[in-house]
Each structure stands twice: as structure tokens, then as C-alpha cells.
A and B are shown apart, each in its own frame.
Chain A
Amino acid sequence: MAAPQVFSIAQAPITCHAFNGDRSHLALSLNDTKVDVYTKQGKGWQITDTLSEHDRTITSIDWAPITNRIVTASQDRNAYVWSQSLDPDTGRMVWKPTLVLLRINRAATFVRWSPNEDKFAVASGARTIAICSFDPENNWWVARHLKKPIRSTVLSVDWHPNNVLLAAGSADTKARVFSAYIKDVDKRPAPTVWGEKLPFNTVCGEYASPAGGWVHAVGFSPSGDTLAFASHDSSITIVYPGGPTIHTIRLQSLPFVTLTWTAEDTLVAAGYDCNPVVYSGGLDGWSLAGTLDDTVGATKTGGTRTGTVGRLNTAAFNAFRNADTRGHTSETVTDTELHTIHQNTITSVRPYEKGADGTVARVSTSGVDGKLVIWNVSAVSAGGLTGRLGAI
């Protein structure tokens, strides 16, 4: 089992990250108004460009692998599309922004390129999703709005592989599947399990979270026939639209905020519990497969009970618990590290590399601890997790 690659990028939270097509470059934002573009040099990453055009915190970045364009969304209610061009003065490639006319009056929260890279979706706090396509006459990006029936901030979106359907997770506790068909851009889509006739803003499905949690993350399976969403009521739901068959898994641990599918029967989710967790299953049911963060080697504190997975499994927490249950304060706590690789909430998990069989072989995560980690998806450690769950 290959160990995960860990890069400590900064002593600041990484809000979001995106790799370019061949993964030699990386764009990320350190919870501020700038996007830093890193280039792989040897075993580390060096800043080679800084994209500064936004004047509020960046919320999301996506990098189109084929057309090599970056799109950024920010709390300043704007999005920019960045493309590389040759600067005649210096002779080097520079990133140039193009404004997007989003027409939203609240923060943009999330952005993703469509699979064909000819349009992108911007989620926002204005209860709308802006579907943006390029207008060559005016040389800017124009937006069409998905509005109904969204009742609150949209927190995440994900494109169906057919370039038309879009899943959206919202703070009104619902995950929805919309048609984002744009006549000038898209060919007539073939019928899918989500529906046959798909004019713009058709709602193809609406699914509520089981206990009223905000939907933090949505994702279509590689075929697009299955939808998964993670919500703030510590649950993950997998929807098969025929029927529909809906599988809900209630977590023992803190909620997930991000997820990605790695194969038709497997997905990776991560969030407040600081370790990426793998689920697998099918139409008949889903279950926990294990964690990618094999921390067995790291759990060195003997202590009384080893405690729960992830965030609460720390020496500091155990010291407080000992003080509480046994009434004695131990010597000063020197070991404040979590026994996971990420030391704080994981904000984003994304597919990194595909294997020979077309499934995702590695995923990348970035977190509030300023770390970027690349994990091997096959290195699922069931023993570590069940061992620790059993010890609760």
C-alpha cells in the first residue's frame, strides 16, 4: 500500500484547489482574495503565478484540463475565467482574466466546468445557479439562471457526463438535479435515467436530507446514473432515480463536506473528521469500506480508551476527559496532534489520477490545516477504522 503524499503548502487554510490536465500545475487559494498557481518542481511545489483580480475571499476554483482555462468564484459576487497568453514585453506566459456577467447579488460559492468545457456553473448565495456560456460577439461570458425551486444558498454543484444535467446541493436541505441545457452550446441530449425531454431549468429530481442538514456536497457517479450527496446531519445519501431507490447512511462521526466518486460502486467523502472515508455498494445497498488514513501506526497514546475516529481522538481531548472523569489533571499536554494526516477539516476532495481501467486511482484533498494530500484509493484500511470504532 503506497503511503499518501503529503504537501504542507502553508500555515493557512486552503479553501479549494484544482490541478491542471497533466497535474504539473496546481491552483489553490489560502482563504484570501488571491489564487496561487504552483508548478511541480522535484518533490515540492513552487509558486509561479498569482491571480489577483477578486476583492473578496475566493470560494472555489476549477481548472479545465483540455482547454487549460481556470475559473474562479468569489464572495465579491464575481467569477473570472483565466486563460494563458504570451506577454509580448516579457516573452513569458501570463494569465489574463475575462469577466463573467453573473448578475447575482450574493456571494458566488462554488464553480465547476462542464465536461465539454464549453460552459460552467456558478452556485451562489442568491438562491440561483448561474450557467455561463461564452458570447463570442461581445467577448465575455454570459449567464442564464437556474432559480426555481431553490430556496436558499447553493453550496455545491456537479455536472452529469452528458454536459446537460447538473446536480446541486443547497442549504434548504435538498439536493436537486436540473437541466442546464443551452440551445447555442448543447446538442440535443440523449434520454437518461433522469428524464427524456430536458429544456432549461427542468427539475429532474429533488431529494431531501434525512434529518434536515444542509447539503454540503453532491456528486454524479462516473456514468451519471447515480447521485450521492453528503449533508450536515452527518449522513450520506445515494440515489438511484429509477424507482427511486434511496440509500441513506447515518455516520457515527462528524459530517462530510465534500465527496467524489472513484468508480461506479465506490466514493470517497471527507469533512470535519479530518480523514477521507471510502463507501462502496450498489443498487442493493451501501456500506462503509474504510478510511484512506491508516493511522494505526500513529495511535501511540495508550490512554484509557482510544476514543473516536478523527477529530476527537487527540491527546488534548483525552487529557480533558481524564480531568473530567477521574478528577486529575495530567502533566501538561505536549502532543496536540490529531492522529490523522490532515490536522483539521478537509475542505475539498477531488479526483487526481485515473488508473488503467478508467476508475479514479488517486484522489487529492486539501484542508483547513494548509495541507494538500494525494491518496491512493486502493489503500483502504478497514481494520484501522473498525478497530477504532470498536474501541469507542
Chain B
Amino acid sequence: MSFRKIDIDAFDEDVLQETELYEPDPRDPAQVLADARQKQATVRSALSRGDISSALNTALDSPPYGPNVDEAKNLTLQTVVSVLNSTKGTEIPNVLKSLSQDAQDTLMKYIYKGMGMPGWGDVSGSVLLAWHEKLTEVAGTGCIVRVMSDRRTV
């Protein structure tokens, strides 16, 4: 049954490339990483003031996506999760309602990414699940569908 393993795309001159499916990030990778570091610092200072809403909004603004920005992606994931971890359960619904729809979709991406990290289940699993539940109540199942369909993975 080896024919099932043949890469048929190799025989197609006009194959659809991954890069054709979404607009590339206009920033270059170094710039993206610098932005991510900058955001991390801003988020830290917002968190120390206890301003969760603005911390989360900053963390979710223009997220890195696409190839060659793995370091910036991980940094942003850590930034987002640090905000999620330092929010009280009772505050979550109000914080979520202050987010734009774009930011809600982006947050859902990071929640799923966090759930997919090996070994994270023991550390922040319950936090991520709590946010996931509340976010689904606010943004609906449509938000989850958008995360699944979007090729601009964070």
C-alpha cells in the first residue's frame, strides 16, 4: 500500500503553497521579536499596576504569525499566559467583554496553543480551561471555528 504515502503534490506543477493562503506579516522577523519584547515589558508594568484589561489588550495586539518568528511566538505566548495566570476567576468575564472581537479570536488561539504545549497541563491547565469556558460563553462557538480555520497560527 505504499502508494498511499506518495507525495502527489510533487507531481503537480501548480501546487497550492502554504504562503498563498494568507497575507504575510509585513514586519521582518527581527522587528517582530523586538515588538514582542517591547510588549512583554509593557504588559509587566500594566500587571504590576493591576490593570488586567490593558495588559491583555497589549499582549494580544498584532500577534506574530507565519514562518521564522518562533522565538517571538513563544515569547508572546508566555506574555499572554502570564496575564491569564494573574487574573482572578471572578474578573475574567469583565476582562473578556472589554476585548475587541479580533482580540477575542487571538486570545482563543493562544489558549489552544497553551493547551497544546507538552507538560503545560499540570502547570496552567485549569487556568486555560477556565478562560476557555468563559471566552466561549462570550464569543460563541464561532470563535473556536475561526481559530481552527485561520492559517495565521500564533
Q: Which B residues are in CB contact (< 8 Å) with A212?
A: 21-22, 149-152
Q: Is the CB of A234 within 8 A of B22?
A: no
Q: Is A117 an interface residue (CB 8 A)?
A: no
Q: Which B residues are in CB contact (< 8 Å) with A233?
A: 145-146, 149-150
**Which residue of the partner chain, among A151, A235, A255, A308, contacts B20 with CB atoms under 8 Å?**
A151
Q: Is B137 an interface residue (CB 8 A)?
A: yes
Bound CA span A151–B101, Å: 29
Bound CA span A7–B152, Å: 43
Q: Which A residues are in CB contact (< 8 Å) with B1?
A: none
Query: What is the distance, in angstroms, from B154's C-beta to the closest C-beta of chain A?
Result: 12
Q: Is the CB of A250 within 8 A of B146?
A: yes
Name B62-77 residues within 8 Å CB distance of A.
none
Per-residue CB proximity of B139-154 to A under 8 Å, as 1/0? 1111101100111100
A232/B145 contact (C-beta < 8 A), A211-B150, A212-B150 known: yes
Interface size of A by CB at 8 A reads 25
Bound CA span A133–B72, Å: 54
Query: What is the distance, in angstroms, from A96's C-beta to the closest C-beta of chain B?
Result: 38
**Which residue of the partner chain, among A152, A172, A173, A250, contacts B142 with CB atoms under 8 Å?**
A250
Bound CA span A252–B20, Å: 28
Query: What is the distance, in angstroms, from B94's C-beta to the closest C-beta of chain A?
Result: 16
Bound CA span A192–B126, Å: 56
Q: Which B residues are in CB contact (< 8 Å) with A231?
A: 149
Query: What is the distance, in angstroms, from B26's C-beta to the closest C-beta of chain A?
Result: 15
Q: Label chain B's interface by main secondary structure.
A: helix
Q: Is A312 an interface residue (CB 8 A)?
A: yes
Bound CA span A250–B103, Å: 13
Q: Label chain A's interface by main secondary structure.
A: loop
Query: What is the distance, in angstroms, from B93's C-beta to the closest C-beta of chain A?
Result: 12
- Nearest residue (CB) in B for A171 is B16
Q: Which B residues are in CB contact (< 8 Å) with A254?
A: 141-142, 145
Query: What is the distance, in angstroms, from B21's C-beta to the closest C-beta of chain A?
Result: 6
Q: Which B residues are in CB contact (< 8 Å) with A235?
A: 142, 146
A251/B140 contact (C-beta < 8 A), A151-B20, A172-B16, A212-B22 known: yes
Q: Is the CB of B150 within 8 A of A308?
A: no
A308/B140 contact (C-beta < 8 A), A234-B145, A235-B146 known: yes
Name A159-173 residues within 8 Å CB distance of B.
172-173
Q: Is A213 an interface residue (CB 8 A)?
A: yes
Q: Which B residues are in CB contact (< 8 Å) with A213?
A: 145-146, 149-150
Q: Is A392 an interface residue (CB 8 A)?
A: yes
Q: Is the CB of B105 within 8 A of A392?
A: no
Q: Is the CB of B16 within 8 A of A151?
A: yes
Q: By CB atoms of chain A within 10 A, which of B16, B105, B145 has the most?
A: B145
**Which residue of the partner chain, among B137, B141, B152, contacts A253 with CB atoms under 8 Å?**
B141
Bound CA span A350–B140, Å: 27
**Which residue of the partner chain, among A127, A210, A392, contacts B140 with CB atoms under 8 Å?**
A392
Q: Is the CB of B145 within 8 A of A172?
A: no
Q: Which B residues are in CB contact (< 8 Å) with A234?
A: 141-143, 145-146, 149
Q: Is the CB of A252 within 8 A of B142?
A: yes
Bound CA span A172–B23, Å: 12
Q: Is the CB of B21 within 8 A of A172?
A: yes
Task: List 9 A-B pairs, minimum CB-CB distance, nearest first.
Answer: A252-B140, A234-B142, A251-B142, A213-B149, A233-B149, A211-B150, A234-B145, A211-B146, A212-B151
Given A233-B145, A234-B146, A254-B145, output 18 extra A-B contacts at Cβ < 8 Å.
Answer: A127-B14, A152-B16, A208-B23, A211-B150, A211-B152, A212-B149, A213-B146, A213-B150, A214-B149, A231-B149, A232-B145, A233-B146, A234-B141, A234-B142, A234-B143, A235-B142, A250-B101, A253-B141
Q: List 8 A-B contacts (CB under 8 A).
A: A211-B149, A213-B146, A214-B149, A233-B145, A234-B141, A234-B142, A251-B140, A252-B143
